[in-house]
Amino acid sequence: MALRVATWNVNSVSTRLERVAAWLESAKPDVVCLQELKVSTDEFPTAAMSELGYESAAHGRGRWNGVAILSRVGLADVVRDLPGQPDYEGVVEPRAISATCGPVRVCSVYVPNGREVGHAHYVYKLRWLHALVGAAAAEAGAGLPFAVLGDYNVAPTDDDVWDPALFVDATHVTPQERAMVEALREVGLSEVMPRALKHAWPFTFWDYRQLAFPKNNGMRIDLVFGNPGFTGAVTDSYVDRNERKGAGASDHAPVVVDLDLES
């Protein structure tokens, strides 16, 4: 069966609801991982998603963070948080949710930003990524096609930032962060590399400031890592940069993955 899976950091699901709804209707994904909901679980627009044909499972706690999974091919075995997920200042933040959607299992993640190298939030980010590697290791061999999709807040290579010279000693590019992403490969996952709809490289994020989008000053930090059952079924993948255009856009664009699965 053909299956379209996507991930999108929407930067407030409330503010973005009209655009998300329009995109669901035009792109017609079967499974969508959302990040940065910025609402609590009970404020998630479950009814609106249902009207669009999607079951949803959300995990949010108000102003910051928040993740969800939408599916129109079934939604079962929902797990919130990661095993061993670290807290920040005493709070285990809503940054991960997993579910089985028809033939695939997906994990929607919003990795901590890190703020500055050496900051407590940066240490937290590395610990969080370590927990993600552990969770991915457990899921990768569980049998189903499986993928971790979301805002990793890490640019895997220097090609994934518009100007590496501007990122010296910055978060998102440090060897420590990149090593944690590489560790996903060591536990049996590999990356689904999307194509760009325009320009040479498939950036997924462009800052709101300083005309970053029209100048294509972007970063590729929204990533998809899957086990062989998932990546082996991929027929296409692209970043839908059109969603970064116009009024009321998120600063991230959706990443779309098309699969052709046996069942």
Partner DNA sequence: ATGGCCTGATCTTCAGGA
Q: Binding of DNA at residue 211 (CB under 7 A)?
A: yes
User: Closest Cα partner for 139 from 94, 108, 173, 176?
Assistant: 108
Q: Binding of DNA at residue 204 (CB under 7 A)?
A: no
Nearest residue (CB) to DNA, 101 versus 249: 249
Q: Which of 67, 221, 234, 253 binds DNA (CB under 7 A)?
A: 221
The CB-of-73 to DNA minimum distance in angstroms stands at: 28
Residue 107 · residue 76 · CB < 8 Å:
no
Q: Sketch the per residue contact string, 64 through 103, with DNA: x for CB under 7 A, - otherwise.
A: x---------------------------------------
Q: Binding of DNA at residue 63 (CB under 7 A)?
A: yes
Nearest residue (CB) to DNA, 19 versus 228: 19
Q: Binding of DNA at residue 152 (CB under 7 A)?
A: no
Q: Binding of DNA at residue 38 (CB under 7 A)?
A: yes
Q: Binding of DNA at residue 176 (CB under 7 A)?
A: no
Q: Total number of residues binding DNA (CB under 7 A)? A: 36
Distance CA 58, CA 80 (A): 9
Give bridge partners of residue 218 from the DSSP assignment: 206
Q: Which of 205, 224, 255, 259 binds DNA (CB under 7 A)?
A: 205
Q: Binding of DNA at residue 115 (CB under 7 A)?
A: yes
The CB-of-52 to DNA minimum distance in angstroms stands at: 19
Q: Binding of DNA at residue 172 (CB under 7 A)?
A: yes
Q: Binding of DNA at residue 127 (CB under 7 A)?
A: no
Q: Binding of DNA at residue 217 (CB under 7 A)?
A: no
Residues that bind DNA (CB under 7 A): 9, 11-12, 14-16, 36, 38, 62-64, 112-113, 115, 121, 151, 153, 171-172, 205, 207-211, 213-214, 219, 221, 245-249, 251-252
